Structure 1
Amino acid sequence: MNPDQATRGLSGKESEYEAFFRAQFPRVVRYLLVLGASIQEATDAAQDGFVKLWSHWDQVRAPLAWVRRTAEREYVNSAVKQNRITTTDSDLALESLMPPAPDDSWGTAREGQEVGSVLAMLKQLPPAQRRVFALLMDGLKPREIALELDMREATVRSHIRHGRERLRHLLEGGSVSSRP
């Protein structure tokens, strides 16, 4: 235990959780943003996920994967409670939650516009591709994504390939087709 933790009275478990929270909270928020959440929805759902994680901290073997899944469910459940959607099926819910136009909540700064444009394009991908890209953008390799999403690595690679094709088409000024 370092002196800062001692002065705040944190136990080893608490300081471990705090370090995890500080390091991973932005990653979970970013994951939810790529899935289609607004910044407020993403931070609320991530916070709820981390609160739930604390009560299971000793039992969870893969806390980042656990909190991502929990935060995603919190995001979907919040939309159901607000009557914005009527299903808790994650793929259908994410499809229903897509905004009709690009999100401009990132402001007018050049970097903000670029981030907003990227998020708007990613939001046009099907939910499974969006999940894969959110994890890919977070630095995971296809094998790690497959483990986290409980799918075959070949399926992950297929989502990456099809997602890149769709994004390339969008960058060229086209619209998203209905094919995978």
Structure 2
Amino acid sequence: MVDELSVRSSAAPATNCGGTGTAARDFATVYRAELVPLIRFVMKHGARPQEAADAAQEAFVQAYKTWDTISFPERWLRTVAPRIYFRAALKVKEDLPGEIWGSQGDCHLPTDIELSDQERSVFAALAELTGRQRQVMAWFYDGYSVPEIAEVLEISADAVRQNLHRARKQLKAHRIQQGGA
């Protein structure tokens, strides 16, 4: 499993952080390669595009501070960014009751995270899943295996398979309901 994770990682583990050394270049490489996929990953957990972008950026800030200790950046970022999103969502709900969001058109989003109609449909379908099913599907869609997902989420492989099965069943029903084949 470690070999699979190493291959999946887009940068070798860094040996230092800061300056213009190898670690800084590796960080920049990972940042460029992973920012948009990470934003989409957080969106699969139910975040709006701007919320996902904020969580992804904060995850990269935290990663930079401890870059020399991170062996598998993709996995680390996909673990930390959703946590940041969920904590921020809870804090907003606690601090500001009622309607707090303007229209989606109020925020500026980079063009590289704009969604196609098909992506919007997928995200709408994912939003109908339970939190755990959405979480498992997000990791699965990003190419992680059942054992890897189980390890990261600290649940059994059987629980991962069960959530995948239930999510797929619900997504299929959603597709049929929307007129898909």
**Same fold by TM-score greater than 0.5:** yes
Which 4+ residue blocks in structure 1 deviate beyond 3 angstroms?
103-106
The share of aligned pairs that are identical, in percent, is 30
Higher-RCO chain (CA-CA 8 Å, sequence separation at least 6): 2
* Aligned pairs for 1:115-154 within 5 A: 115-154=119-158
Aligned residues: 146
Once the two structures are TM-superposed, the CA of residue 85 in structure 1 deviates from its matched residue by 8.2
Does the 8 Å CA contact 1:79/1:85 hold for their aligned counterparts?
no
2-structure distance, mates of 1:23, 1:151: 29
| TM-score, normalisation: structure 2 | 0.72
Amino acid at match of 1:16: D
* Aligned pairs for 1:1-16 within 5 A: 10-16=20-26
Amino acid at match of 2:142: D
* Aligned pairs for 1:69-84 within 5 A: 69-83=79-93
Does the 8 Å CA contact 1:17/1:54 hold for their aligned counterparts?
yes
Amino acid at match of 1:142: V
Once the two structures are TM-superposed, the CA of residue 32 in structure 1 deviates from its matched residue by 0.7
| TM-score, normalisation: structure 1 | 0.72
Q: CA RMSD in A?
A: 2.6
* Aligned pairs for 1:10-49 within 5 A: 10-49=20-59
2-structure distance, mates of 1:73, 1:162: 23
Once the two structures are TM-superposed, the CA of residue 84 in structure 1 deviates from its matched residue by 6.2
